[in-house]
Amino acid sequence: MRKSLIQIAAAIALTLGAILALASGANASSVMVMKAYARASATATADTGAAYVSLMVHGGPDRLLAVSTPAAKMAALHRTVEDNGVMKMEHVDAIDVPASGMLEMKPGGYHIMLMGLTAPLKEGGEIDLTLTFEKAGEVKVKAKVGGVAAGTN
Ligand SMILES: [Cu+2]
């Protein structure tokens, strides 16, 4: 009897500790991925590709710092911008997501640039992406490979 009371007390102490730990990380965040897809390669010799994720940050704010994938030698965060009527891509160091906010990557906007594809991306396939956030840490995502123009139709 006495022993079980001590065990209960210990369990309560552990629970309180966990609650305090959560409360102290007031700006912690977790990420919920809603959509993830990549575009199929248009040719068998394609060396680059693009992937897109849509996600929600619970808590936060947070920042997406990096992406990696076994499907390519390198993955980078890019944004398509219009410069004097010409669409071009630029590298971004990080993407800020506001507290309880959303990040929606799409063709013509933010995207994940895949450079040095290990194999052409085939429609119907799937690639693994690891997103690294400043607060939420690593988030693993599976992206479905859609058509060559996936995301615009
Ligand atoms: Cu790009």
What CATH number does the domain containing 71 carry?
2.60.40.1890
Q: Which amino acid is at 2?
A: R
Q: Which amino acid is at 9?
A: A
Each residue's pLDDT tens digit, 115-127: 999 999 999 999 9
CA of 114 to the centre of ligand 1 (A): 8
CA of 130 to the centre of ligand 1 (A): 17
CA of 28 to the centre of ligand 1 (A): 30
Q: What is the DSSP letter of 39?
A: E
Residue 153 lies in a domain: no
pLDDT bin (cut points 50, 70, 90) of residue 143 is very high
**Global pTM value:** 0.81
CB 105 within 8 A of CB 76: no
Residue 4 lies in a domain: no
Phi/psi at 45 (5° precision): -105, 10
User: How many structural domains comprise the chain?
Assistant: 1
CA of 82 to the centre of ligand 1 (A): 13
CA gap 97, 114 in Å, rounded: 22
